[in-house]
Amino acid sequence: MEPKDPGAWEEVRQWRKQMREQLLVHRAALSVDVRHRLAERARAQLVEAVDLTAYRVLGFCWAIKGEIDVRRIAEQHLASGGEVAIPVIVQKGAPVEFWRWHPGMPMQIGIWNIPIPKERDVVELDAVLVPLVGFDMQGYRLGYGGGYFDRTLAAAARRPIAIGLGFSDSVLPTIYPQAHDIPMNMIVTEKFVERIGTETRHE
């Protein structure tokens, strides 16, 4: 049920919870082959549309719950001379830190059983690839409900370019954005690339 008052956070929060659950169930129901095929197309769209070498330090998230795995893109970024980092929750409810990462480095298990580097080496990002549970065409992202990315982007001394990466069937008419929501600069799916705030679209 849509929120009766789009400005009432509790109503919107409950609606987002329902949408999140539905989208995650839908994504989990996709076969492994279908999900891999869609993910490969989305990665190709990203590489074709964005020159990631323009951003020295690239952040990415370890793929969970059927998300698009971008480790190969991260490795290519390292091979081209860039730096790569992954998010680490150091305090619940606070902005995350991004710790330097490279393949083969010692890792440990962090919050939600997500691998993180054993060594804390905090870096400042130039761009970040952000997984999408859902999204709208204004660039607003539906995540897992913790608000970590919004807090992190809001607290950044120099806000990185945020590139949302997800599947096209996760689009919503709106997520009913609130004051604390921060839109992505770009949305990338297996079907399209949407640059927020411009009319340029790559199909």
Q: What is the mean pLDDT of residues 170-196?
A: 96
Q: How far is it, in rounded angstroms, from Cα 188 to Cα 171?
A: 11
Residue-wise pLDDT for 87-107, tens only, equals 999 998 899 999 999 999 999
Q: How far is it, in rounded angstroms, from Cα 123 to Cα 141?
A: 24
Beta partners for 164?
130, 187
pLDDT category, 26, cuts 50, 70, 90?
very high
- 93 occurs within a structural domain: yes
- 163 occurs within a structural domain: yes
Helix (H) or strand (E) holding 155: helix 148-155
Is it the case that residue 200 has pLDDT exceeding 80?
no
Residue-wise pLDDT for 48-76, tens only, equals 999 999 999 999 999 999 999 999 999 99
- Check: pTM over 0.85? Answer yes or no: yes
The pLDDT of residue 199 is 39
The pLDDT of residue 6 is 78
- 172 occurs within a structural domain: yes
Tokens coding 195: 């640059």
Residue-wise pLDDT for 127-163, tens only, equals 999 999 999 999 999 999 999 999 999 999 999 999 9
- 3 occurs within a structural domain: no
The pLDDT of residue 154 is 92
The domain of 181 spans 9-198
Q: How far is it, in rounded angstroms, from Cα 159 to Cα 128?
A: 10
- 4 occurs within a structural domain: no
- 22 occurs within a structural domain: yes
Q: How far is it, in rounded angstroms, from Cα 12 to Cα 6?
A: 6
Write down the mean pLDDT value for the chain: 93
- Spatial contact of 153 and 159, defined as CB atoms under 8 Å apart: yes
Side chain identity, residue 2: E
Residue-wise pLDDT for 170-179, tens only, equals 999 999 999 9
Q: How far is it, in rounded angstroms, from Cα 82 to Cα 57?
A: 6
Considering only the C-alpha atoms of the chain, give the largest distance between any 2 of them, rounded to a whole number of Å. 50
**Which CATH number do you get for residue 66?**
3.40.50.10420
Q: How far is it, in rounded angstroms, from Cα 136 to Cα 49?
A: 19
- 1 occurs within a structural domain: no
Q: How far is it, in rounded angstroms, from Cα 185 to Cα 197?
A: 8
- 191 occurs within a structural domain: yes
Q: How many separate domains does the chain show?
A: 1
pLDDT category, 185, cuts 50, 70, 90?
very high
